[in-house]
Structure 1
Amino acid sequence: MGKTYFVLLWRLKNTLSNINNLFRCYKCGICCENLFPNSIVIFPSDVIRICDGMNMEKKVFLAKYCVGKDIPCGDSSIKVYFMKVGKDRKCVFLNNSLCTIYNIRPTQCKKTPYDFFAYKKLWGYMPCVKREYYSERKSYDEDMELLKELLHGY
């Protein structure tokens, strides 16, 4: 099982390479713009929280706002859902540089940039990121907990 976590972690890092507690959001919207497809992971707990908050059925939410992708993992694959990105490459929930689902936003959005796959290469482009925090922060344990959630399924 341990090897499966590492494989999934590596695959997600590669998927996310296209694109918290110490972090202060300046409401500039930069992290929600210029997105690539499959750059915002939607975890099973996100689906529950967002659907509850939007009073929407899981099936409807996944069909309207997400795209599923099979991530190869060992001899099989894991279904992972990602937020759909608009034609303008902005998050579908971004309006006037503000998140319209901020209180129920996805885990990745809550934890980025220091507590979610906290790697300078992924998030260092954002003007609000303090690069010196990366030497202190390691998100490995948090990342592994999220991977366990993905392996458990939707």
Structure 2
Amino acid sequence: MATQTRSFFDHYRYCKDCKTLLPEEYEFEFCPQCIEQRLFREVRDYIRKNNVNEYDVAEEFQLPVARVKSWIREGRIQYQDQGGKMTLGIHCARCGEPINVGTFCPSCLRFMKGPKGTLGFQKDDIEASKMRFLDEKRKEDKKK
């Protein structure tokens, strides 16, 4: 009476790239993250080889334009500046200047960082920015 023992992992397959466990009924050879990375690499290589804009990329790979633009805003892909002419329609969120990567243009980034190049409060602003309570202010007004 030989019993066949099956391991828990017999019902799974592995992603060919990252070796992540995949369910047996999963139809692809790669996990969703690896599929996304492969697509991204193909898009990046296509942009490097061709003078295209985000609409051309979306049409070539049957992607939504919003997905391509989100990769640009995240800084994952960047278009080449072709002789002073921008090849896409991404604009700075603050001033509207055409940009080829990210959300803000370099001058707006410098402005937002402040004169000292740091984000946040300066030391002399700390006293002015302390939290105040209305009840204490009312008590002080009544005493006067």
TM-score (norm 2): 0.25
Higher relative contact order (CA 8 A, sep 6+): 1
Higher strand share: 1
